[in-house]
Amino acid sequence: MDVGDKVGDLAGVDETGAELRFSDLLAKGPLVVFFYPAAMTYGCTKESCHFRDLAEEFAAVGAGIVGVSADDVAKQAQFSAKHTLGFPLVADTDRSIAEAFGVRRRRGPNKRSTFVVGSDHTVIARIDSEFAMGRHADQALEALRSATNPA
């Protein structure tokens, strides 16, 4: 999945066990979908907490946030509660969502990638960096601001 591609109506289960449909989230506005390798690890905690810390700024541009990893519902719930994340975490245990976005590795955890998706399901930005965890939220926010206030 890359800039200009359309995201299908994907569904998964969030950290509460409830079904989460991307079309429902996108009906509310743009969506930032960030994939992280594993809940409760240093880098993924740093990345997720940075998204949490910028949540008001994402809301100000009308965007929602959702995190996705292959961790199960219980691990996602533990991760969300421990860090008071405040946005849905999808338990993509079969990695079908990661596959659809092209971030599933054949072996090991999914790639660390972030996608900014417009209300029309079109990818407007993709951020890839395995080690610059803080860059994902910052660049996603920048992409949203550019999309809503073109120069």
Q: How far out from the chain centre does Cα 21 lie? A: 13
Structure confidence at residue 74 (pLDDT): 97
pLDDT at res. 150:
59
Would you state the pLDDT for residue 149? Answer: 65
| Cβ–Cβ < 8 Å for 34, 69 | no
Domain boundaries, position 79: 5-148
Residue 117's SS3 state is strand
Confidence at residue 123, expressed as pLDDT on a 0 to 100 scale = 96
- Does pTM top 0.85 for this prediction? yes
Rg from Cα positions in the chain: 14
Q: What is the CATH number of the domain that holds 101?
A: 3.40.30.10
Per the annotation, the verdict on 44 as an active-site residue is: yes
| Number of domains the chain is built from | 1
Largest Cα separation within the chain, whole Å, is: 44
Which of these is catalytic: 10, 26, 44, 68?
44
| CB of 34 closer than 8 Å to CB of 49 | no
Q: Which amino acid is present at 151?
A: A
Tens digits of pLDDT across the chain (151 residues): 899 899 988 999 999 999 999 999 999 999 999 999 999 999 999 999 999 999 999 999 999 999 999 999 999 999 999 999 999 999 999 999 999 999 998 887 889 999 999 999 999 999 998 777 778 999 999 999 988 765 5
Contact 39, 75 (CB under 8 A): yes
Give the Cα-Cα-Cα angle 85, 90, 95 (nearest 5 degrees): 140
Dig out the tokens for 114 from the structure. Answer: 């972030």
d(Cα 143, Cα 137) in Å, to the nearest integer? 10
Contact between 31 and 124 (Cβ < 8 Å): no
